[in-house]
Amino acid sequence: MDKMNILLLGSGGRESALAWKIAQSPVVNRLFIAPGNGGTGAYGENVAISPLDFDAIEKFVDGNDIEMVVVGNEDPLVEGIYDRLAGRNGLLVVGPSKAGAALEGSKDFAKKFMVDNNIPTARYRSFTAATLAEGEKFLETLNAPYVLKADGLAAGKGVLIIDDLDEAKKQLGEMLGGMFGKSSATVVIEEFLSGIECSVFVLTDGNGGYRILPVAKDYKRIGEGDTGLNTGGMGAVSPVPFADEEFMKKVESRIIIPTVEGLRKAGITYRGFIFLGLINVGGDPMVIEYNVRMGDPETEVVMLRIASDLVPLMAAAAKGDLGELVLEHNPKTAVTVMAVSDGYPGSYLKGKEITGVSNVTESTLFHAGTKVADGKLVTSGGRVIAVSSLGDSIADALERSYRSIGLFDFDGKRYRRDIGRDLMNL
Ligand code: AMP
Ligand code: GLY
């Protein structure tokens, strides 16, 4: 394979981990990250372009002989970046077309897709303001708790889980009345499923070829013991002990193959990562949601556990044929613990100096909300640094991450001390 110039879009911990992995490939010439963060400059060249500024991206691609674009976050995919760029002068784009991105961009579309393809998921119906009364009646047929989902993207906040029937009816009215703007003009109501969740990632070439990446579990709540507000993710672990061979066989036959085949049958172009948010219901996997990109902070552990060069795999997927390429998993355990700003996921201060990062030697620091200002590394977001380690067990990897997180500091540094603990007691 000839060496290629790659443009990676995004600025979070996920993109740091992708950049770290891509930069190790012998087939990369130059790697650019748009816009990147205070850590990605160690792996490539940051470029001050927003992933949603398609005109600027197109110009940059043309001016810098970019041969492959890797899209980290969902917004440009849902807005159609694949359709805009793929195939222009042979450009490879890792991701789904706009039609495929609707698996994340519209929960109503995703649910219909699952039902059409016999993919196990919670029973559901969709409603609009015109059918509010029917929605209230449907709620009466379900048992508590009630799950209400805004159809469109809502920055991870569009799902409400409510114990009380009257409260659920009230919130349904508010969602349909514009609680999440046009994202909640349609609301999916579904049955509540109970079980442990995990994240399965698949790289597909859109022509029936796919590879399964290491499985991960993320920790969404701000507080220890999974309490408090939802965040973008406070930590992650891979592998996940309950996602054993038997469970993964079910995931492959009942979910992955029908998903890949369903996309193909529908004529939907999809050459990139599929994120299956799964729940283990008594040993049977069911789909909670699809995302059309890698997870954050799951990518921070998944990349540590991919032994193969990811660049030829992504390029082959984007060309539409994974062929015989192998995606090998590292058998070790990876964990990541997110250092966040005090106040997150509510309001928090930015611009706090981060000191001591060069003291860390036994973990990889994937920067998320950091930037370099006046020559200093400072915080610029709620999730600041994903402290990621490999070890022989969850306990061993956690010890490394927790030692490392004590070696750097910023005013208001917070983190969960119980990442992975639920999995150690299984
Ligand atoms: P989503 O944005 O679809 O991932 O939903 C956010 C979170 O809500 C999920 O990660 C689950 O923890 C929870 N959730 C969503 N749908 C259900 C469901 N049908 N049953 C139980 N929990 C759910
Ligand atoms: N960690 C969940 C997500 O990336 O959506």
Nearest CA to ligand 2 atom 2: 295
Residue 409 neighbours by CB distance under 10 Å:
16
CA 76 to centroid of ligand 1, rounded, Å: 23
State if residue 205 touches ligand 2 by the CB under 6 angstroms criterion.
Answer: no
How far, in Å, is the centroid of ligand 1 from the Cα of 287? 9
The pLDDT tens digits of the residues spanning 261-298 come to 999 999 999 999 999 999 999 999 999 999 999 999 99
Instruction: Please state, as a whole number, how many other Cβ atoms lie within 10 Å of the Cβ of residue 65.
Output: 11
From the CA of 233, the nearest ligand is 2
Residue closest via CA to ligand 1's atom 9 equals: 288
Q: Rounded to the nearest 5 degrees, what angle is found at the Cα of 150, between the Cα atoms of 281 and 415?
A: 65
* Atom in ligand 2 nearest the alpha carbon of residue 218: 1
Q: What is the pLDDT of residue 426?
A: 54
Distance CA 96, CA 167 (A): 37
Q: Tell how far the Cα of 158 is from the centroid of ligand 1, in angstroms.
A: 10
Ligand 1: residues with CB < 6 A are 122, 147, 149, 159, 190, 192-193, 197, 277, 288-289
309-339 per-position pLDDT tens digit: 999 999 999 999 999 999 999 999 999 999 9
Residue 336 Cβ < 6 Å to ligand 2: no
Give the residue ranges of the chain where pLDDT is below 70. 425-426
Q: How far is the CA of 166 from the centre of ligand 2 (A)?
A: 30
The three-class DSSP label of residue 96 is strand
The closest residue, in CA terms, to atom 3 on ligand 1 is 289
Beta strands in 178-272 (DSSP E): 186-190, 196-204, 210-212, 217-218, 221-223, 227-230, 235-238, 270-271
Compute the distance from residue 34 Cα to the ligand 1 centre, in Å.
Answer: 31
Residue identified by tokens 């009816």 is 169
The pLDDT value recorded for residue 157 is 81
Protein residue whose Cα sits closest to atom 18 of ligand 1:
192
3-state secondary structure (DSSP) of residue 150: strand
Distance of CA 149 to the CA centre of its chain: 18
Among 71, 198, 296, 340, name the best residue to mutate to test ligand 2's pocket (greatest count of ligand atoms within 8 A of Cβ): 296
Q: Note the pLDDT of residue 425.
A: 65
Provide the token pair at 221.
């709540």
Query: Tokens for 356?
Result: 């001591």
Query: Residue 252 and residue 229: Cα distance in Å, rounded?
Result: 32
Helices (H), 310-372: 310-319
- Report the distance separating Cα 11 and Cα 58, nearest Å: 18
**Is there a contact between 387 and 333 (Cβ–Cβ < 8 Å)?**
no
87: its two tokens: 């195939």
Q: Determine the 3-state secondary structure of 279 from DSSP.
A: strand
3-class SS string, 20-50:
HHHHCCCCEEEEEEEECCCCHHHCCEECCCC
Measure the CA–CA gap between 22 and 32, rounded to whole angstroms: 11
Atom of ligand 2 nearest to the CA of 14: 4
3-state secondary structure of 398: helix
Tell me which ligand sits closest to the C-alpha of residue 194: 1
| pLDDT at residue 113, as a whole number | 98
The DSSP element (H or E) to which 160 belongs, if any, is: strand 159-162
Q: Atom 4, ligand 1: which residue's CA is nearest?
A: 289
Ligand 2 pocket: which of 71, 218, 338 to mutate (most atoms within 8 A of CB)? 218
303: which DSSP letter?
G
- 3-class secondary structure, 165: helix
* Residue 1, both tokens: 């394979």
Q: How far apart are CA 153 and CA 102, in angstroms?
A: 10
Nearest atom in ligand 2 to 291's CA: 5
